[in-house]
Structure 1
Amino acid sequence: MAQADAQTTNPIRSRLGAYYELTKPGITGYVMVTAGVSAFVASRGRLELTLAMNTIAGTGIATAGALTLNQFVEREVDTVMHRTQGRPLPTGRVSPMEALGFGSALLLGGLIYIALALGVLPAAITAASGLMYHGVYTPLKTRSYVATLAGAIPGALPMLIGWSAVTGSLDSGALALFAIGYFWQLPHVLGLAWILREDYTRVGFQLLPPGGDRSIGLQMVASTAILIPISWTPTFLGFTALPYAVGATVIGGGFLATAFRALREMSDENARGVFFASLLYHPLLLFLMIFDTLRLLMSAA
């Protein structure tokens, strides 16, 4: 009897796991974090728990839907690239129509949730993010390096979702956080695209700029260098103070150093260094924002 129950349970768990995998939980989770931090900074540390939960949940549901739909759209490409062949659609664990229905339900549900709980502006930004991701970035991937520049826009829009959920508008603070998110993604994607260049070439993805290794390295350096002064803008606008600005400069300098190494020699090791530095940089920067926002709130109390 127990064995029969286990045999029934395992397929169910496997099925649920496949649907969970479709949502790219790592990326979805981090998008939820960025929206939540943006809302927290916009509130100057006075973010209500209900608003925080609605912002994080709504953003997560819509993002999960958009990423599921991306796997539906790119299901044939995913069967060719080595790193994606184990995904639910290439392996047949989920059918294309099931993925389409699941993703559509999540995206639509997330948009309705955000509109009702947070307002029209956050919902409109969420919809724009989905349209930009599927209507511009995805089709451009096989046509032009512009895809990388365009794809960073929907990647940074969750910062505006969180900010507008609190303020009901988009002001200089919102644009500052958006700019940080945008320029952070460029070296992140370039590093990953270099590491996966053979897979990307196999399916015709053009996420690396023309001009060879030096052009790639120069764009890594340029985007990480621009990040440093842009990262100071929350302090200039009064949302953070000197401790944040100093910390942002230190970690920005470390990030920039990895980009210069890649410029001197574009290799798998150095590209991986840029990529992993990007994985550390942005979470650390968000932590510094939270820390200094709380510090200013407590000092004013």
Structure 2
Amino acid sequence: MATVAPNPIARCTGRRNEAMATTTIAPSTAAPITTASDPAPRGASFSAASAATATARDIHSHHIGSVYYEPVVGAAGAGSTASMSSVTTSPASTVVEPSESARPRAMTTWSTLAKARLSALVVFTTAAGYLVAPSADRGWEQFLGTVGGTALAAASAAILNQFAEIRRDAKMERTRNRPLPAGHVAPALALVVGLLAAYAGVSMVAFFGNLLASAMTLGTIAVYVLLYTPLKPRTTLNTLVGAVTGATPPMIGWAAATGALEPGAWVLGGILFVWQIPHFFALAWLYREDYRRGGFAMLPVLDEQGRITAETVLLTSLLLVPLSLLATMFGVAGWWYAAGSVVLGCWLCLQAWRFWRRRDDSTARAVFVGSIVYLPLLLVLLVIDRGAVTPLAAVRGGFTVETSGSAPLADSPSSLDPRAVERATRPRLDSSPR
């Protein structure tokens, strides 16, 4: 008798039908299991398919902080499926209710909305400005209150900026999965939270710091939201306006510690201002097509060949070397810092030169990463070697006060500016705990 070979297609089809008959979409304890003998209503199949499609789309999203739904893999029969939540099945309708793991994580959502990494940079630069400023009347309460207030202020500026750019962010691949364009946070709620964070941040800086630092904090938020944000789609000069807001945090920290904006504060602000040009131009080069879709007037978008962009990146990187040395000249830091700043500056200039020679994504990314490495290391050196020498720190009224960490040396103390003498004799933060 002839032997008939089994049909592989029929066998696979049979297994698939068996798997479909026994596979369920995460049923709740009260819901019946869908089987071949008890077919699910048409609405249930559509809801389950929609849920699985939405899950797959969110899982494959590449944007940081945008993966809010997790797959639940379970084997039933010969197959497995990704499921969301519990499914309540009734003859009339099917309701898909998201489980706890399927809901957007609140912490991830709000940290993304507040741009946590950018806010952390603001906190870091504010802390550096506070710590290197010469002042005796300060303590950890004032320090923590000041940096906490600036953190809230930075978060508020980020939230209000995204509130104003919902439509443009939705057009960009890099930003379309942010909480507002993705619909994870209601715009009205974001607006209220942003305004409350601004009020709380400015109030904290005023309470723990002083009115000067508080006014600078409020001004920074206003310039970022009311000037920089509207200028982004209109002119390439928006980067310079945005760089002003990025330069103020160390000056706010300095003002909170001393109550004044002395030359050292302006040096720190100048370093931060110039640093942002190669940093953001390199980023804009990497995402120039995205910025074009969003309608933003960034220089790398309009400069199609990239020549002006590369030249600007190189020149501003070179400018950072002498500018960082001003911190030593004005007595903010010592010579160890000066040597380290030259090494870091030359290394960043090398990355900028490579980008100038070959304008592509790899060299632009090297500049961007190099700028991220450069700034924290520079500020750490600044804090460690703060005030070691003060060649120009106490020049007042034609007299120079030379300090060695404790007392001024001068021909006639009565002829010196009392403020210079008082600053020269102030103890360090670590020697005057409150």
TM-score category by the smaller chain?
Answer: over 0.9
1:56 matched residue in structure 2: 147
TM value normalised by structure 2: 0.65
More helix by share: 1
Aligned pairs, number: 297
The list of structure 1 runs, each at least 4 consecutive aligned residues, that deviate by more than 3 angstroms after superposition, is: 7-13, 43-47, 209-212
Distance in 2, matches of 1:127 and 1:292, equals 31
Preserved CA contact (<8 Å) 2:331 2:388: no
Pick from 178, 191, 194: which aligns with 2:285? 194
Structure 2 stretches lacking a partner, 5+ long: 1-84, 87-97, 390-403, 407-434
Preserved CA contact (<8 Å) 2:212 2:260: yes
- For the pair 1:244 / 2:329, whether they are aligned, the reply is no
Aligned pairs for 1:71-90 (under 5 A) are: 71-90=162-181
Aligned pairs for 1:1-301 (under 5 A) are: 10=101, 14-43=105-134, 48-208=139-299, 211=303, 212-293=305-386, 300=405
- The sequence identity of aligned pairs, in percent, is 36
Shift of 1:11: 7.0
For residues 41-92 of structure 1, the C-alpha deviation after alignment (integer angstroms, 9 at most, x for no partner) is 0037995211210111010011111111111111111111001111111121
Shift of 1:20: 2.6
Structure 1 stretches lacking a partner, 5+ long: none
Shift of 1:102: 0.8
Preserved CA contact (<8 Å) 1:44 1:293: no
Shift of 1:281: 0.5
Distance of aligned partners of 1:278 and 1:46 in 2 relative to their CA distance in 1, 3 Å threshold: farther
Distance in 1, matches of 2:99 and 2:219, equals 42
Preserved CA contact (<8 Å) 1:45 1:293: no
2:3 matched residue in structure 1: none
Preserved CA contact (<8 Å) 1:187 1:278: yes
For residues 19-53 of structure 1, the C-alpha deviation after alignment (integer angstroms, 9 at most, x for no partner) is 23211111111100100011000037995211210
For residues 98-127 of structure 1, the C-alpha deviation after alignment (integer angstroms, 9 at most, x for no partner) is 110111110111111111221111111111
Distance of aligned partners of 1:254 and 1:45 in 2 relative to their CA distance in 1, 3 Å threshold: farther
Distance in 2, matches of 1:34 and 1:106, equals 19
Partner-residue secondary structure (3-state), 1:89: helix
Distance in 2, matches of 1:179 and 1:13, equals 40
Shift of 1:295: 6.4
Distance in 2, matches of 1:45 and 1:17, equals 40
Distance in 2, matches of 1:179 and 1:44, equals 21
Preserved CA contact (<8 Å) 2:141 2:208: no
Preserved CA contact (<8 Å) 1:224 1:256: yes
More strand by share: 2
- Greater relative contact order (Cα < 8 A, sep 6+): 1
Preserved CA contact (<8 Å) 2:244 2:273: yes
Distance of aligned partners of 1:219 and 1:12 in 2 relative to their CA distance in 1, 3 Å threshold: same
For residues 155-182 of structure 1, the C-alpha deviation after alignment (integer angstroms, 9 at most, x for no partner) is 1110111010011011100000000000
Larger Rg: 2
TM value normalised by structure 1: 0.92
Q: Greater shift after overlay, 116-125 or 36-45? A: 36-45
